């Protein structure tokens, strides 16, 4: 009974340490990313109105599986320091490696009033497309394919998809549903839809003004006034009594 109790205590300690490692990495990575985006917005000269990123909890992403494995190792090593004569600092290298890998493979997307921009990886250049070139935006549901789980139990990732006026499709980075990932992806899609509607309204207004100008150009000019019939305003009676 004592061995079973010790085993259960060890498992609970390991799970708690893994959870703490995950939460600590999530908080640290989020703070560093916010500081970076505040300094260098993805949209360039325009401020990022809506931003979302691929989270650590995105299923079906090999990069995130590597980070999760390193964090699990860090949690197990930290738990071992409570159960045996094990130096706790050995948990720090895998935790830092997970944080560095998460930042190095960072994928994010942002939308402004003029552009939708995205970047995959820390060193890769950001790409962007003008809102005026977009026809619509959708949010696709992507299920993972974990062995042993039925389809309805598979974890879900969400991915905004841009459809350009030329017919080309651009898939933005995926993000997991945990910790508000789905809500942020939906917020970006809704913001882009509003900007697309605004561009369409501006185009309709410009087309209407152009048609009105063309109609005015087709109208005949007024007939010229003969000098004999022209009225001199100074010759009109003023109505004053002298």
Give the pTM: 0.74
pLDDT at 143: 80
Q: Is 119 helix (H, G, I), strand (E, B) or coil?
A: strand
Tens digits of per-residue pLDDT, 100-150?
998 898 889 999 888 999 988 776 778 889 999 999 999 988 887 777 777
Instruction: State which residues of the chain have pLDDT below 70.
Output: 1-7, 10, 43-48, 123, 179, 225-242
Tokens of 13: 């300690």
C-alpha span between 176 and 79 (Å, rounded): 27
C-alpha span between 130 and 136 (Å, rounded): 12
pLDDT at 228: 60
C-alpha span between 234 and 121 (Å, rounded): 79
Q: Is the dihedral of CA 200, 201, 203, 208 positive or negative?
A: positive
Domain ranges of the chain: 2-214
pLDDT at 120: 85
pLDDT at 214: 81
pLDDT at 2: 63
pLDDT at 113: 87
pLDDT at 217: 80
Phi–psi pair at 162, nearest 5 degrees = -95, 135
pLDDT at 226: 61
């Amino acid at each position: 009974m004592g061995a079973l109790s010790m085993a259960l205590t060890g498992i609970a300690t390991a799970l708690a340490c893994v959870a703490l490692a995950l939460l600590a990495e999530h908080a640290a990575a989020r703070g560093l990313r916010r500081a970076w985006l505040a300094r260098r917005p993805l949209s360039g000269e325009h401020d990022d109105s809506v931003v979302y990123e691929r989270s650590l909890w995105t299923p079906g992403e090999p990069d995130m599986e590597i980070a999760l494995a390193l964090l699990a190792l860090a949690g197990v090593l930290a738990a071992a320091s409570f159960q045996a004569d094990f130096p706790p600092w050995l948990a720090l290298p895998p935790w830092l490696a997970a944080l560095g890998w998460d930042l190095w493979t960072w994928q994010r997307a942002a939308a402004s009033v003029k552009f939708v921009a995205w970047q995959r990886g820390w060193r890769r250049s950001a790409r962007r497309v003008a809102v005026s070139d977009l026809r619509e935006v959708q949010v696709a549901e992507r299920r993972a394919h974990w062995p042993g789980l039925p389809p309805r139990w598979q974890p879900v990732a969400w991915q905004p998809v841009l459809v350009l006026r030329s017919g080309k499709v651009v898939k933005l980075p995926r993000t997991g549903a945990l910790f508000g990932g789905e809500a942020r992806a939906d917020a970006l899609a809704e913001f882009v839809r509003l900007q697309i509607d605004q561009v369409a309204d501006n185009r309709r207004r410009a087309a209407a003004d152009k048609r009105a100008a063309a109609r005015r150009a087709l109208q005949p000019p007024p007939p010229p006034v003969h000098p004999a019939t022209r009225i001199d305003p100074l010759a009109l009676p003023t109505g004053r009594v002298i």
